[in-house]
């Protein structure tokens, strides 16, 4: 059997099988190092597999893998093209950095008896996100979505050891997430009713030219369900608390990946399943997605300015940033879609780095309140530096990935004749200037309180992954072959498939 | 030649960066650290002269760093305007470094290593702006310049510095991200390129576009906040909380000149002067610039704080360059270009004198400087010559750009602009030349008294109480530059003339 031919299934099978093994490892012996080291190696292998897939897709074109050798549309198909290969690489890449990063942070934030459960849940969560991305089967999306969501509820709740509000945050997320998943599955049911198939490519063929209320309703349910998962404004209310009270490493992982995956699913359903030329798509873009995206860009970013808790602030900022991605999609043009994909990838890099910096502060100062950041530039120079660079990236300062995102979005706006959209994008970046600038000013200009204890810089095991991610923020701001070129090709393929 | 001109363009950025690390590494020993700054300055001067010479000989040395996104390279190409700006910035940086040493030590400032490190980054980004081959590259270094000078503006770290810094960063970043960036992307989307091309890139695609050229020009004119066109100017007076060497170099030369330089470059190489003249798109901005000239002068008149007065004078003088660009005539553009050089030398002199007065006599208010002349004759004489140049009186370099601008206004048929220029010069006489005259001829006023008439004293050469040598010598040097620019205006004009040739 050729192992390389089985590459597409490795990112799913490997963590799914090894997660229970991680759970069986001792949490308290050797400080819980066994599940940590084991899970980290598994994640690195997964990352290698995903990078291999991306390379293979970029050079030889889309891959179709039939599970159990049952041919689609009867069997489940994993279909990897450029768009989801990019997201797979992002998710597994972030995981490959967060796992080694998490150890010190997690040991100080959760009940130590739960360390092996923690790594098992984190592996499962990653599996779910990768599964949602990789599959070409619509119902499979729902299955993996639930796998990732359920494990995320557990992961968020583990923050209760430090702050009991994590329990209500998790419960809130559970209720909202379940509603979202239900909407999604109702939408799938309607599409199934209309076509009798669940394979995405097959759905597309069956739906072609089919114009009826049931499909429209199905589409609406899917967008709302996924919008909830993606924290699309105004369905974002579960998110700030979940991100704020989850263990810091969990926040870093899910902030950088899970909402991005949900946005990807929306894009996938619009373009691959329904098709952008479907009769109601332009109306949905113009009257639903664009206004909500704009409202998110301004409202959520505006709320972020007034947060006292840095993690909550970053969460609100994420809602705003999701707005940018959806706004790009709503142009309904190829550059707009490409810009969304670029921003999806880039935002994962910046938010991951920012939450990692917040985790370092949490470890050393013991709080994620703004006041903990006073004078940080002197007390923890590397952490503060990482926060500043990735914060500038969030604003969109040149030489960072954020600038590339902004540029692409602006170019797409002007290209499609929406000059007003360009100005809305830059206007909302001012809000980012304010909420990021506020924390930077605290770190750089305000002295630490006089009675603050001496603290050390974060340990190397956290600094190294964080600085790698920060370096990625700069590297991909200068070399865009991977992000922009592949996104443009992916957008071309998606739009081409839509015609 | 040791370094080829093409490599010299990119080395001009690299050398200050190396200097940055050298300053960092030698931070423990102030003498060694300052030596690093000065060595960097000398090498940089050499490099910019190599480029300047090559450009003068007709070459356009360029260097492609790498391509970021399709069709958007970070690339450098020197042309006369940029080469002149680079030489100006590097020479004045060296002079200013000497001055910084005198000022910072004389004043015993804190965090001096950080200060010199930020300066090195600032000069590197000024070089990037000077040699940028396209708008994309220009924008990147424009932003780096803003960010690298922020720690310099807030150097003192007190509440006033923070407040000033907030306005500084907010306005400069706000205008550049909010207006300049969309304008650049818009140009890219219209023309398919952001390269600086002789004759402009917008004339062909926008020939039928109605009000769009004026809208774009407005986005550029206000988006380049560093040009301080009213009402985008408040960052400049707010930046005066910085130590004087920062004000002298950054807010008379590097930062503000990067702004007006960008405006000129965009008018000449993106819009094309002929295109603006034909469409008349620049007329409204010509009037805004004229208004900015007079208003800023009027505000400067009633500022008693010397640095604040100089800041508003700078706002006014910068608008001369914008005005020259917006006149859309050859003489106007040439006048604007010459104004960049002469105003830099003149205004830097004034700022350094202000710093010397502060270090030597601890005076910041103009009203306290009466009668100070006999004590600090060298400082006030340098101030006098610098002020003459700003006003535009022969035999100082500043007289030529005023002359060219008037010719340009006449060419454009805008006679009212000539009146504006004359009135502005008169206002300058009142609020700048009066300072050294009062210092020499009036007696100091006591507490709560009105200034007493003439109290002229002879300079008592045995009783001179000047600031340290390194604070006094640099303004004298720059005043001499301003004087020399009067006599070498013709070669400079000939050097700059090729920018008006559409090739």
CA A476 – CA A470 distance, rounded (Å): 10
Of A379, A347, A349, nearest to A365 by C-alpha is: A379
Per-residue pLDDT of A263-303, as tens digits, reads: 999 999 888 887 766 667 777 788 888 999 999 999 999 99
Residues whose CB is less than 8 angstroms from the CB of residue B460 and which lie 6 or more positions away in sequence, other chains included: B374
pLDDT at A80 over 80: yes
- Say how many Å lie between the first and final Cα of chain B, rounded: 28
Residues whose CB is less than 8 angstroms from the CB of residue A379 and which lie 6 or more positions away in sequence, other chains included: A364, A448, A452, A455
What is the average pLDDT across B16-32? 86
Report the 10 Å Cβ neighbour count for B478: 32
CA B16 – CA A80 distance, rounded (Å): 47
Q: Are B248 and B236 in contact (CB under 8 A)?
A: no
Q: Are B227 and B221 in contact (CB under 8 A)?
A: yes
β-strands B72-77, A77-80 pairing? unpaired
Residue A289 Cα, gap to closest chain B Cα (Å): 23
pLDDT at B503 over 70: no
Of B327, B291, B498, B337, nearest to B406 by C-alpha is: B327
Say whether the ipTM exceeds 0.90. no
DSSP A28: S
DSSP A238: T
Per-residue pLDDT of A207-248, as tens digits, reads: 877 677 888 888 889 999 999 988 888 888 899 999 999 999
Percentage with pLDDT > 70 across chain B: 95
What is the average pLDDT across B417-440? 88
User: Left (φ > 0), alpha (ψ -120 to 50) or beta: where does B192 sit?
Assistant: left
What is the average pLDDT across A319-346? 91
The torsion angle over the Cα atoms of residues A8, A11, A14 and A18, rounded to 10 degrees, is: -160
* CB within 8 Å of chain B, chain A residues 403-422: 404, 406-408, 410-411, 414-415, 419, 422
Instruction: Name the residue facing A478 among B68, B144, B169 (closest C-beta).
Output: B68
B195 bridge partner residues = B134
Sign of CA dihedral A147, A149, A152, A157: negative
Residue A349 Cα, gap to closest chain B Cα (Å): 18
User: Which residue in chain B has the smallest CA separation from A398?
Assistant: B140
Q: Are A405 and A342 in contact (CB under 8 A)?
A: yes
| pLDDT level of residue B153 (50, 70, 90 thresholds) | confident
Of A190, A196, A197, nearest to A72 by C-alpha is: A197
How many beta-carbon pairs under 8 angstroms link A with B?
Answer: 72
Half-sphere exposure of A461 (CA within 13 A, CB side): 15
What is the average pLDDT across A467-481? 89
Contact flag B178-A430 (C-beta cutoff 8 Å) = yes
Interface probe, candidates B165, B182, B225, chain A, greatest A C-beta count within 10 A:
B182
Where would I find the beta strands (DSSP E) of A42-168?
63-66, 77-80
User: Which residue in chain B has the smallest CA separation from A431?
Assistant: B174
Confidence (pLDDT) at A129: 95
Range list of H helices, A4-71: 10-24, 33-60
| pLDDT level of residue A1 (50, 70, 90 thresholds) | low
Confidence (pLDDT) at A276: 64
3-state secondary structure B135-172: HHHHHHHHHHHHHHHHHHHCCCCCHHHHHHHHHHHHHH
B156 near A CB under 8 A = no
| pLDDT level of residue B454 (50, 70, 90 thresholds) | low
Of A247, A487, A470, nearest to A350 by C-alpha is: A470
Confidence (pLDDT) at B78: 87
Q: Are B389 and B484 in contact (CB under 8 A)?
A: no
Instruction: Name the residue facing A429 among B68, B177, B186 (closest C-beta).
Output: B177
| pLDDT level of residue B451 (50, 70, 90 thresholds) | low
Q: Are B311 and B250 in contact (CB under 8 A)?
A: no
Contact flag B181-A426 (C-beta cutoff 8 Å) = yes
Contact flag B174-A430 (C-beta cutoff 8 Å) = yes
Contact flag B69-A429 (C-beta cutoff 8 Å) = no
Across chain B, mean pLDDT equals 85
Residues whose CB is less than 8 angstroms from the CB of residue A75 and which lie 6 or more positions away in sequence, other chains included: A66, A67, A68, A69
- B98 backbone dihedrals φ, ψ, rounded to 5°: -60, -45
pLDDT at B110 over 80: no
What is the average pLDDT across B347-374? 84
Structure tokens at B334: 């040439």
| pLDDT level of residue A498 (50, 70, 90 thresholds) | very low
Residues whose CB is less than 8 angstroms from the CB of residue A111 and which lie 6 or more positions away in sequence, other chains included: A158, A161
Q: Are A341 and A231 in contact (CB under 8 A)?
A: no
Helix (H, G, I), strand (E, B) or coil at B224: coil
Where would I find the beta strands (DSSP E) of B43-148?
62-69, 72-77
Range list of H helices, A196-309: 200-207, 213-229, 239-245, 248-268, 281-284, 290-295, 301-305
**DSSP notation for B16-54:** HHHHHHHHHHTTTSHHHHHHHHHHHHHHHHHHHHHHHHH
Q: Are A278 and A322 in contact (CB under 8 A)?
A: no
Q: Are A348 and A261 in contact (CB under 8 A)?
A: no
Interface probe, candidates A335, A341, A377, A407, chain B, greatest B C-beta count within 10 A:
A407
DSSP B362: -
Per-residue pLDDT of B289-306, as tens digits, reads: 999 999 999 999 888 888
- Say how many Å lie between the first and final Cα of chain A, rounded: 38
CA B438 – CA B420 distance, rounded (Å): 27
- Looking at the structure of chain B, the number of domains it has is 1
Chain A residues near residue B169 by CB distance under 8 angstroms? 437
CA A140 – CA A135 distance, rounded (Å): 7
Q: Are A198 and A134 in contact (CB under 8 A)?
A: no
Which structural domain range is residue B325 located in? Answer: 5-500
Residues whose CB is less than 8 angstroms from the CB of residue B33 and which lie 6 or more positions away in sequence, other chains included: B23, B26, B27, B112, B113, B116
B288 membership: H or E segment, kind and range: helix B283-301
A482 near B CB under 8 A = no
Half-sphere exposure of B353 (CA within 13 A, CB side): 33
B68 near A CB under 8 A = yes
pTM to 2 decimals?
0.88
Confidence (pLDDT) at B114: 84
CA A18 – CA A12 distance, rounded (Å): 10
In this structure, of A205-219, A384-398, A407-421, B486-500, the range with the lowest mean pLDDT score is A205-219
Question: What size, in residues, is chain B?
Answer: 503
Contact flag A478-B66 (C-beta cutoff 8 Å) = yes
Confidence (pLDDT) at B461: 67
Per-residue pLDDT of A83-93, as tens digits, reads: 889 999 999 99
């Amino acid at each position: 059997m050729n192992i390389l031919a089985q590459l597409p299934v490795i990112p799913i099978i490997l963590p799914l099988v090894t997660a229970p093994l991680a759970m069986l490892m001792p949490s308290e012996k050797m400080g819980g190092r066994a599940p940590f080291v084991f899970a980290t190696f598994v994640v690195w292998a997964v990352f290698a597999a995903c990078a291999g897939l991306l390379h293979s897709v970029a050079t030889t074109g889309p891959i179709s893998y039939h599970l159990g050798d049952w041919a689609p549309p009867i069997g489940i198909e994993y279909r990897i093209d450029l768009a989801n290969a990019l997201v797979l690489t992002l998710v597994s890449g972030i995981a490959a950095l967060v796992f080694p990063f998490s150890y010190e942070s997690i040991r100080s934030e959760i009940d130590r008896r739960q360390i092996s459960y923690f790594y098992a849940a984190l592996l499962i969560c990653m599996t779910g996100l990768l599964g949602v991305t990789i599959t070409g089967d619509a119902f499979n999306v729902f299955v993996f979505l639930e796998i990732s969501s359920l494990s995320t509820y557990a992961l968020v709740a583990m923050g209760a050891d430090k702050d009991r509000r994590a329990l209500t945050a998790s419960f809130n997320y559970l209720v909202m997430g379940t509603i979202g998943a239900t909407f999604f599955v109702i939408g799938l049911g309607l599409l199934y009713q209309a076509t009798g198939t669940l394979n995405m490519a097959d759905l597309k063929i069956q739906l072609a030219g089919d114009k009826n209320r049931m499909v429209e309703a199905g589409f609406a349910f899917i967008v709302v369900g996924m919008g909830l998962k993606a924290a699309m404004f105004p369905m974002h209310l579960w998110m700030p608390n979940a991100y704020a009270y989850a263990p810091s490493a969990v926040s870093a992982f899910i902030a950088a990946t899970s909402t991005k995956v949900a946005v990807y699913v929306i894009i996938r359903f619009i373009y691959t399943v329904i098709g952008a030329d479907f009769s109601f798509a332009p109306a949905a873009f113009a009257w639903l997605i664009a206004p909500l995206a704009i409202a998110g860009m301004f409202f959520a970013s505006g709320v972020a300015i007034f947060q006292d808790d840095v993690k909550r602030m970053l969460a609100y900022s994420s809602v705003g940033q999701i707005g940018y991605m959806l706004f790009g999609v709503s142009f309904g043009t190829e550059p707009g879609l490409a810009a969304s994909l670029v921003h999806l990838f880039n935002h994962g890099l910046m938010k991951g780095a920012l939450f990692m910096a917040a985790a370092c502060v949490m470890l050393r100062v013991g709080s994620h309140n703004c006041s903990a950041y006073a004078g940080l530039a002197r007390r923890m120079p590397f952490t503060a530096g990482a926060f500043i660079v990735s914060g500038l990236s969030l604003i969109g300062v040149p030489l960072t990935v954020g600038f590339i995102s902004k540029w692409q979005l602006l170019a797409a706006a002007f290209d499609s004749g929406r000059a007003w959209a360009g100005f809305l994008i830059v206007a909302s970046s001012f809000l980012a200037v304010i909420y990021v600038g506020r924390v930077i000013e605290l770190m750089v200009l305000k002295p630490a309180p006089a009675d603050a204890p001496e603290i050390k810089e974060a340990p190397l095991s956290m600094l190294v992954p964080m600085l790698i991610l920060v370096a990625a923020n700069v590297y991909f701001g200068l070399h865009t072959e991977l992000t922009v070129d592949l996104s443009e090709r992916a957008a071309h393929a998606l739009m081409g498939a839509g015609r | 030649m040791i370094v080829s001109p093409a490599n010299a363009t990119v080395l001009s950025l690299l050398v200050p960066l190396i200097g940055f690390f050298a300053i960092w590494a030698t931070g423990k020993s102030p003498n060694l650290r300052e030596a690093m700054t000065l060595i960097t300055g000398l090498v940089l001067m050499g490099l910019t002269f190599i480029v300047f010479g090559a450009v003068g000989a007709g070459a356009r040395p360029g260097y492609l760093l790498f391509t970021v996104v399709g069709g958007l390279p970070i690339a450098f190409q020197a042309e006369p305007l940029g080469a002149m700006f680079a030489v100006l910035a590097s020479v004045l940086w060296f002079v200013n470094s000497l001055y910084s040493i005198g000022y910072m030590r004389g004043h015993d400032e804190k965090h001096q290593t950080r200060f010199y490190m930020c300066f090195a980054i600032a000069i590197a980004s000024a070089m990037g702006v000077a040699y940028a081959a396209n708008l994309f590259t220009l924008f990147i270094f424009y932003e780096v310049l803003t960010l690298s000078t922020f720690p310099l503006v807030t150097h003192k770290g007190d509440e006033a510095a923070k407040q000033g810094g907030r306005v500084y960063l907010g306005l400069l970043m706000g205008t550049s991200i909010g207006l300049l960036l969309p304008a650049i992307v818009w140009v890219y989307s219209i023309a398919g390129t952001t390269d600086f091309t002789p004759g402009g890139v917008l004339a062909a695609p926008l020939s039928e576009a109605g009000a769009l050229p004026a809208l774009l020009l407005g986005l550029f004119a206000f988006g380049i906040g560093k040009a301080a066109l009213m009402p985008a100017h408040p960052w400049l007076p707010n930046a005066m909380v910085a130590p004087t060497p920062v004000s002298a170099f950054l807010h008379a030369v590097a930062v503000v000149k990067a702004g007006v330089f960008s405006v000129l470059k965009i008018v000449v190489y993106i819009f094309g002067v002929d295109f603006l003249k034909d469409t008349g798109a620049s007329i409204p901005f010509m009037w805004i610039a004229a208004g900015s000239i007079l208003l800023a002068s009027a505000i400067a008149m009633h500022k008693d704080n010397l640095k604040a007065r100089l800041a508003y004078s700078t706002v006014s003088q910068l608008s001369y360059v914008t005005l020259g660009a917006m006149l859309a005539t050859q003489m106007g553009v040439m006048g604007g270009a010459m104004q960049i050089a002469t105003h830099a030398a003149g205004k830097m002199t004034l700022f350094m004198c202000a710093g010397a007065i502060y270090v030597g006599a601890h005076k910041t208010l103009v009203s306290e400087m009466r009668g100070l002349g006999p004590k600090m004759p060298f400082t006030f004489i340098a101030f006098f010559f610098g002020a003459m140049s700003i006003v535009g009186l022969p035999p100082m370099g500043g007289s030529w750009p005023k002359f060219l601008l008037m010719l340009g206004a006449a060419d454009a048929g805008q006679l009212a602009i000539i009146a504006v220029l004359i009135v502005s010069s008169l206002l300058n006489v009142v609020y700048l030349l009066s300072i050294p005259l009062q210092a020499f001829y009036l007696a100091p006023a006591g507490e709560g008294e009105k200034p007493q008439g003439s109290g002229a004293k002879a300079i008592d050469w045995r009783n001179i109480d000047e600031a340290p040598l390194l604070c006094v010598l640099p303004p004298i040097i720059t005043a001499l530059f301003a004087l020399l620019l009067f006599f070498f205006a013709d070669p400079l004009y000939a050097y700059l003339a090729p920018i008006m040739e559409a090739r």
